[in-house]
Structure 1
Amino acid sequence: MKRLGISIYPEKTSKEELLEYIDRASYAGFSRIFSCLLSVVDDKEKIKKDFMYINEFAKSKGFEIIVDVAPSVFSKLGITYNDLKFFKEIQADGFRLDEGFTGNEEALMTFNEYNLKVEINASINVHTIDTIMDYYPNKYNLYGCHNFYPHAYSGLALDYFDECTDRFKRYGLRTAAFVTSQNQNTFGPWPVTQGLVTLEMHRNLSLLTQVKHYLSMGNIDDIIISNCYPSDDELEQFKDLDLRFVTFDVTVEDGVPELQRRVMFEELHINRGDVNSNMIRSTQPRIKYKGNKFELFNVPEIIKRGDIVIESSEYGHYAGELQIAKKDMKNTGFSNVVGKITEEELFILDYLKPWQKFKLKISG
C-alpha cells in the first residue's frame, strides 16, 4: 500500500508548530514521518527528551517514524548495531542509514528485539543492498529511501533513479523518495533550500504533480514531502487523493453532454494493453454504454496532445471509447474533443503503462 509522508526537523522550529503540522498532515491522509538526527547538535538527553515528546504525539496520530542517522551519529549517541534501544526510547519505528556499514551489520540489525525498520540509502547505485541481502536479513524490516537534493540542478536524473530503485524492488523491498513543497520560505535540515527533491525534474513542479508522477511510475511506495511547511492549500489537495492510481486534472470543453461527462468522471479507466504511440485508449466505456447515442458536437480539425476524446456513434462500435492524445493528430471527423489534461501534467501521459488504471477529475 502506498503512503504519503512528511519530514520534520525539531531543532529548526517550535514544538507547537511541529505538532500543529503533524495534526494537519494526519487529517490530510499522511501516515509516515522522516525525521533527521544528522543535523542535530544537542546532547543525547535533550535529543531523547525532544524527540520522545514529538514522536509520542505523532504515533497517537497513526504515523510511522523513521529517523535519519549515520555511523557518526551512532558513535555520538552511544548506539551500536547490536544495541538499538535509543530508537525505541524516542518512540521511533526505525532509522535510515544515510551512510552504511559493511552489509553484515545492517542484516543483523533487521533482527533487532524492538522490531525496528532499517532503511538504506537508495540513491547510491552500488551493490550495497545486494551485499546486505547476501547476509540474509529480515527483509520485512528492510526499506530503501532515496536522498533529497537542496542545491538546484543537483537532483537525480530519471534513468539513474530508476536503476537505483530497481536494486531494491527486485528484492520486494519497500521504497521511498522525496517531493518538495513550493510554499515560500520553507526550510529543511541544511542552510540551502532551493527545493528539496529527489528527482531534479520535479524541482519546479507543483507538489501534487510530483506525487502524481511517482504514482504513474509505480516503483515508489512512500512519497515524502521533504521541506517544512507546505501550505494549507497544498495539503488539502491530498485529502481525497486515491494513491492506487493517477488521477489527471482536466479542463472540460463547453457543452459536453451528460453522457460524455459520466464516461469522463464516473469510470475507472484502463490504459488498453496493446498500447500505441499516438493515444491512450480506455475501451471499457464503449462496452458499458453500448447502444447509447454519442452525438457529434465538438470536432476540431486537429486533435492536440493532451486532448481527451470520446468517439461518436459515427465511429460504429468505437462509440463511447475514451482516448487521450499523446501527440497531435488529424481528426477523422468522427471524434469529439471533450476536454484536456492540464498543461503541467501532460508529461505524465508518457509514464502510463499497459493496463495501468487512471481517473479524471475537473481541475481546481
Structure 2
Amino acid sequence: MTMRQLGLSIYPDHSNQDADKQYLLLGEKYGFTRIFMSMLEAKDVQATKKKFSEIIQFGNRHGFATTLDISPRIFDQLGISYTDLSFFKEIGAKAVRLDQGFNGITEADLSYNPEGLIIELNMSNDTGYLDNILSYRANEPFLYGCHNFYPQVGTGLTDAFFESCSKRFKSRGIHTAAFVSSQVGNQGPWNVNDGLPTRETDRYLPVDVQAKSMFMSGLIDDVIIGNAYASEEELSNLSRMNRYMLSFKVDFVSAISDVERKIVLNEKHYRRGDANALVARSTMSRVKYREVANPPHDNKETFKVGDILIGNDGFGIYKNELQVVLTEHKDSRKNKIGSIRSEELPLLKYLYPWAKFQFEA
C-alpha cells in the first residue's frame, strides 16, 4: 500500500516568496511533504526559472517534493521540447502535471524521460484517456494521477463522478491525488476563488473532514490543500488526523460513565461483518466488560443517525456493546453516550462491514 501524504499549494505568480517560505516551514512542522505549484502563466523563461527554482529548492531542503502544473502552451512559451524536460529538473521539480492531455503516445514517451521526472495525469475525466496512454507501453511507475480543483462555487465534481474517475486510475495501480479546500485560504491561480476543492460537497466542510473522506474512500493516496494559505489550526488538525483508519469526533453527554468512556476511547472498534441497517455494532467490549455494571441514562429519547450507544444493565448479553446509529429508533436498553459531530456524518458511508474505526473526544 502506498504511504499517504499531505500537500500544500503555492502560487509564485501571485504570492510573496517570503510568505511562501514561511508557509512551507509551517507545513514542514506538521508533516506535509508535497507541494503543488502552478506554472500555467509563465512568460519569460529566465525570470520564470529564477523565481520557481528558488522556492522549489527551498522546499526540497525542507522535505518537500514539488509537482509543477503545466500545459502544452507552456512548452511553447518557454521554448521547451516535449522530448527534453531538463528545464524542470534543473529548477528542482520532482514531477510535472499535465493540466491538458496530449495524444496518448506523447504521455507514454514522456514517462521515459531521462531526468526521471514523474508525469502526473489529469484524473478529472471519466474517459479512456489513461487506458490509451498505457496502451502505448507507458513507464507505469513514473505515471501518477491528480484531480483538478474548481475555484467557482457549484462546479466541483459530484461524488459519483469523482469515484468513477478515481477508480479508473486506482484499479490500474496508479498513485493518486486530489484537492481539499482551506476555509481561510484566499489565493489560487485565478482571480475567482470560492475555495479550491476537487469535489463540490467538500467546499465548505472543515479541511480535515474533507481529507478524512478522501483517504477513507480508498481511492486517493495524497491529499493537497488547493488554496493558500491554510491556517496553522487547519494544518495541525490535518497532521493529527488518522490517514489509515476511520475516525470520528464525538461530543459526549454529561452523564457518560467511566466504563462507557473507556469503551469509546480506549478499545479497538470494528464493525461486525454481518451488517444491518439499524446500527453499526462493535461487540468485543461486551465480552471484556460483561461483569461491569452500566446503569441506564439518556435512554428514553429517539436516537438519531450518528448517535453513539452502549448497552446498559437492562440489555442482557448485549450489555456494554457499542453501537453507532444508522437509522433512527428508540430502545431503553441502550444509553446514548454521545454523538458524532454533524459535519462528520457523511463519513458514515465508509463504515463498511469489518471496517476498523476509532473516536476522538
TM-score interval, smaller chain: over 0.9
Indicate conservation of the 8 Å contact 1:307/1:324, yes or no: yes
Correspondence for 1:276: 276
Instruction: Measure how far apart 1:181 and its partner are.
Output: 0.7
Structural mapping, 1:171-190, within 5 Å: 171-183=172-184, 186-190=186-190
1:23 alignment partner in structure 2: 25
- Count of residues in correspondence between the two structures: 359
| 2:35 match | 33
Cα distance, 1:239 vs. partner? 2.7
Letter in 2 for 1:78: G
Corresponding residue number in structure 1 for 2:248: 248
| Counterpart residue number, 2:106 | 105
In 2, Cα distance between the equivalents of 1:356 and 1:72?
46
Which position in structure 1 is the counterpart of 2:329? 329
- Rounded to whole Å, the distance in 2 between the matches of 1:207 and 1:72 is 33
How many Å separate the matches in 2 of 1:268 and 1:11? Answer: 48
C-alpha separation between the residues in 1 aligned to 2:141 and 2:291? Answer: 51
Partner-residue secondary structure (3-state), 1:88: helix
Residue 344 (structure 1) shift: 1.1
Q: Where does 1:107-186 land on structure 2 (aligned, <5 Å)?
A: 107-183=108-184, 186=186
Q: Could you tell me which residue of structure 1 aligns to residue 342 of structure 2?
A: 343
CA contact (8 A) 1:139 1:173 kept: yes
> Following TM superposition, by how much is the alpha carbon of 1:261 offset from its aligned partner in structure 2, in angstroms?
0.8
Answer yes or no: is 1:231 the counterpart of 2:231.
Answer: yes
Please state whether the residue corresponding to 1:309 is helix, strand or coil.
strand
Contact 2:207 2:238 in 1 (8 A): no
Q: What is the CA distance between 1:99 and its match in structure 2?
A: 0.8
Query: What is the TM-score when the length of structure 2 is the normalising length?
Result: 0.95
Structure 1 residue 70, shift from structure 2 partner:
1.1
For the 8 Å contact 1:293–1:313, the answer to whether it is kept is yes
Distance change (3 Å), C-alpha of 1:297 and 1:233:
same
Q: Mean alpha-carbon deviation: is it higher for 60-69 or for 289-298?
A: 289-298
Counterpart-to-counterpart distance in 2, 1:10 and 1:3: 22
Q: Which AA in structure 1 matches 2:61?
A: S
| Cα deviation code 1:69-93 (max 9, x no counterpart) | 1111122222223211111111010
- SS of the aligned residue for 2:308 comes to strand
Task: State the distance in 2 between where 1:239 and 1:187 align.
Answer: 22
Residues 113 and 339 of structure 1, relative CA distance in 2, 3 Å threshold: same
Deviation beyond 4 Å, 4+ runs, structure 1: none
Deviation at 1:315, TM superposition (A): 2.2
CA contact (8 A) 1:150 1:193 kept: yes
Q: Which has the larger displacement, 28-37 or 275-284? A: 275-284
Q: Which residue of 1 aligns with 2:351?
A: 352
Tell me the equivalent position of 1:56.
57
Over aligned residue pairs, what C-alpha RMSD do you find?
1.5
The 8 Å contact of residues 157 and 199 in structure 1, kept in 2 or not, is answered as yes
The amino acid of 1:316's aligned partner reads G
Give the gaps of 5 or more residues in structure 1: none
Separation of aligned partners in 2, 1:315 and 1:250: 23
Contact 1:271 1:352 in 2 (8 A): yes
Matched residue type, 1:337: K
Query: 1:15 touches 1:54 (CA, 8 Å); kept in 2?
Result: yes
Hey, what's the Cα distance between the residues in 2 that align with 1:91 and 1:323?
51
Taking the aligned partners of 2:34 and 2:255, their CA distance within structure 1 comes to: 43
Q: Aligned-pair distance for 1:320?
A: 2.3
The residue number in structure 2 matching 1:94 is 95
Which amino acid in 1 is paired with 2:81? T
My pick for the range that moved more, 227-236 or 309-318, is 309-318
**Unpaired runs of 5+ in structure 2?**
none
